[in-house]
Structure 1
Amino acid sequence: MAYDAEDTRRRIFDAAAAEFAEHGLAGARVDRIATVARANKQAIYLYYGSKEKLFAAILRAKLEEVRLCVAIDPDAVGETVGQLFDWYREHPELIRLLLWEALEACDEPDESERKRRDGFREKARRLVDVGGAHHLPEAARVRAAQDLLFTLMGLIAWNFAVPKMCRTILDEETDQAALARRRETVIEAARTLAATAGRLHGGVSG
């Protein structure tokens, strides 16, 4: 049977994503990744260079996946946020990877961060016209869109970063019941924030 390089890369990627989500960058072990992926350690270093570069590649790919799966619609922010909420619920590994990155990664910007920043700039540009801020200069509208985007992401992500707290504060018996409540609340909050984002920045600028 011929060696399938792409299949090997996919197995390594899937195994590493699970390993990093569970153990973080420092706690992850290349030998465990190799065992689960049914590959040798040399293949991991050949394809990805190092454990750190493998972690960065996985995080970048996961963020790109959510970017491609959910397009932000400036005219339907609530619906978009609902789709993002559902995506994060179906892919809990992304929140865990982001939390591990915050705990362990170097604060110095690197090439991976620069590429991700470009992707978020594109998302912010799509939100520029949200909130009736047409009277503001373009730079102010871009800043309003960036702040709105980050706030919406926080509204969504926190539910999955601290599920026990979510369940406890909402006084629900299960995570599912708590998340169902939170989904509707986050959507309504997103609509309100989108409607006021431009006016808030206009007030600050004035």
Structure 2
Amino acid sequence: MAYDAEDTRRRIFAAAAAEFAEHGLAGARVDRIATAAKANKQAIYLYYGSKEKLFAAVLRAKLEEVRVSVSIDPDAVGQSVGQMFDWYREHPELIRLLLWEALEACDAPGEGERERRDAFREKVHQLVDAGAVNHLPENARVRACQDLLFTIMGLISWNFAVPGMCRLVLDEETEQAALDRRRETVIEVARRLATASDAPAARAPE
């Protein structure tokens, strides 16, 4: 059977995503990734260069998945936020990867940060162009949409960062019940934030 390089890369990527989500960058082992991917270590280094670059590639790809899969429509904020909540629920590895990055990354900008920043700028300008926070002066809309996007992301992601705490605080018997309840609350809060005509504008830099 001919060697399928693309299939090998896919297997390595899937194994690496699971390994990094479980153990983080420092705790992940290339040997385990190779075994799970049914590949050799040399292939991992050939395709990705290092464990650190492999982690960066996995995180970048996962963020791209959510970027292309979900967008926030100012005219249908509830539906958009519900879709985003469901995406994170179905892909809990992204939150784990982001938490590991926050715990283990140094203060210097990480690999691919410029691309990630540009992707979020695109999301923000989509919100502005679609008429979000249209009650604000033009020079304040971008910053307001940045704050809106980040606030919505926080409202969603915290539920999956600490699902046990979510269950305890809401006094639900199961994490499933707690997340079902939180989904409705997050949708309603996001809808109010996006439509509040008296929301304060973000202060422009001096």
**Coarse TM-score class (shorter-chain normalised):** over 0.9
> Which residue number in structure 2 is paired with residue 125 of structure 1?
125
> Which residue number in structure 2 is paired with residue 100 of structure 1?
100
Aligned partners of 1:88, 1:197: CA distance in 2, in Å? 29
Q: Does the residue aligned with 2:201 lie in a helix, a strand or coil?
A: helix
Q: What is the letter of the counterpart of residue 130 of structure 1?
A: A
CA RMSD, Structure 1 to Structure 2 (Å): 1.4
Contact 2:133–2:141 under 8 Å retained in 1 = no
> Which residue number in structure 2 is paired with residue 166 of structure 1?
166
Q: 1:137 to 1:50 in 2, by over 3 A?
A: same
Aligned partners of 1:197, 1:63: CA distance in 2, in Å? 31
Aligned partners of 1:131, 1:141: CA distance in 2, in Å? 6
> Which residue number in structure 2 is paired with residue 61 of structure 1?
61
Aligned partners of 2:56, 2:197: CA distance in 1, in Å? 32
Report the alpha carbon displacement of residue 166 of structure 1 after superposing the two structures with TM: 0.2
Note the alpha carbon deviations across 1:33-78, whole angstroms, 9 max, x for none.
Answer: 0000000101000000110000000000001001111122121111
Q: What is the letter of the counterpart of residue 101 of structure 1?
A: E
Q: Does the residue aligned with 2:134 lie in a helix, a strand or coil?
A: coil
Contact 1:148–1:197 under 8 Å retained in 2 = no
Q: What is the letter of the counterpart of residue 134 of structure 2?
A: G
Q: What is the letter of the counterpart of residue 77 of structure 1?
A: V
* Stretches (4+) displaced over 3 A: none
Structure 2: any 5+ residue segments left out of the alignment?
none
Report the alpha carbon displacement of residue 197 of structure 1 after superposing the two structures with TM: 7.2
> Which residue number in structure 1 is paired with residue 114 of structure 2?
114
Q: What is the letter of the counterpart of residue 17 of structure 1?
A: A
Report the alpha carbon displacement of residue 131 of structure 1 after superposing the two structures with TM: 2.6
Structure 1: any 5+ residue segments left out of the alignment?
none
> What percent identity do the matched residue pairs reach?
77
Report the alpha carbon displacement of residue 106 of structure 1 after superposing the two structures with TM: 1.9
Contact 2:70–2:84 under 8 Å retained in 1 = yes
Q: What is the letter of the counterpart of residue 53 of structure 2?
A: K
Q: What is the letter of the counterpart of residue 136 of structure 1?
A: P
Q: Does the residue aligned with 2:72 lie in a helix, a strand or coil?
A: coil
Matching of residues 21-170 of structure 1 within 5 Å: 21-128=21-128, 129-133=131-135, 135-138=136-139, 140-170=140-170
Taking structure 2 as the reference length, the TM-score comes to 0.94
Aligned partners of 1:21, 1:150: CA distance in 2, in Å? 22
Taking structure 1 as the reference length, the TM-score comes to 0.94
Q: Say whether 1:190 aligns with 2:190.
A: yes
Report the alpha carbon displacement of residue 84 of structure 1 after superposing the two structures with TM: 0.4
Q: What is the letter of the counterpart of residue 104 of structure 2?
A: E
Report the alpha carbon displacement of residue 198 of structure 1 after superposing the two structures with TM: 7.1
Contact 1:130–1:197 under 8 Å retained in 2 = no
Q: 1:46 to 1:81 in 2, by over 3 A?
A: same
Contact 1:70–1:84 under 8 Å retained in 2 = yes
Q: What is the letter of the counterpart of residue 35 of structure 1?
A: T
Q: What is the letter of the counterpart of residue 131 of structure 1?
A: V
Contact 2:170–2:178 under 8 Å retained in 1 = yes
Aligned partners of 1:25, 1:44: CA distance in 2, in Å? 15
Q: Does the residue aligned with 1:147 lie in a helix, a strand or coil?
A: helix
